[in-house]
Amino acid sequence: MICNALVVRRTAIRAVLAAALLAASAVCSPSSADRGNAGSANTVRTEPSANPTIATAPRATTTTNPYAVPAVIDVAYVNRVLAGLDAGNGDTTRLVIRTRTITQEAYDRLKAIYADPTFMQINIDGYERDIRDNFRSYKSSPGDLKSTVSRLISVRSDCVFVQVSRDYTSVGINPLAELQTQWVALTLLDRARDPKGYNPTPWAFKYDGFPPNRNQPADPCAS
């Protein structure tokens, strides 16, 4: 069920409103995202008190797959994964701009990078608004959003929660400065969601954005 809460969802290009919070028992779990947009959601779960230090252990042995999960998940690895996911978002945006519709391929691409169907639907809704708006606030040839890890908050082999700095200058005209600080949680991708292999990484977005108060949200990996 959807919790009755209105959260502010700002895109890289303009401000819009969206309502999306999932119920988990008696508390709401974050469930908003965007396609290179700042999503927003809020939870009341308690974040673990420990704040892990960025890993300094030796890097795992190099493999032919740059996205293979290493023995130690560090900032460099998460940045590499985020770059892959940002590129996937960018490819979807360019596809929608070119076709002026949500094609089956665009749908499949979104499904491949968002673990939660509610995240994906909010993303689709955003594209539909952009289509109606004739993409007037996008650059003529938009590039990719750039997400850079500012801080590792929690790390597990199957879930990573980080604070990121986001740069939308390649995507939109006059992007909002307040979109820079955001939070991302990544969970291991269910490959059934990506049968065509659009997502080059083994990860998908579990949380993507910031809560209405702009404070750090509760850790989605703690649940």
CA separation for the pair 41, 28 (Å, rounded): 9
Residue-wise pLDDT for 129-167, tens only, equals 999 999 999 999 999 999 999 999 999 999 999 999 999
Q: What is the pLDDT of residue 63?
A: 53
Kindly tell me the sign of the dihedral angle through the C-alpha atoms of 17, 93, 2, 133.
positive
Indicate the pLDDT class of residue 94, thresholds 50, 70 and 90: very high
| DSSP code of residue 15 | E
User: 49-55 long-range contacts, Cβ below 8 Å, gap at least 24?
Assistant: 51/153, 52/152, 52/153, 52/154, 52/155, 54/151, 54/152, 55/152, 55/155
Kindly tell me the sign of the dihedral angle through the C-alpha atoms of 120, 122, 127, 132.
positive
- As a dihedral over the C-alpha atoms of residue 97, residue 98, residue 99, residue 101, rounded to 10 degrees, the angle is 0
Q: What is the pLDDT of residue 83?
A: 98
Answer whether 0.85 is exceeded by the pTM.
Answer: no
Please spell the DSSP secondary structure of 147-206, one letter per residue.
EEEEEEEEEETTEEEEEEEEE-TTTBSS--GGGSEEEEEEEE--GGG-TT----SSEEEE
The more confident residue out of 174 and 90 is 90
User: Any idea which residue has 């945006």 for tokens?
Assistant: 93
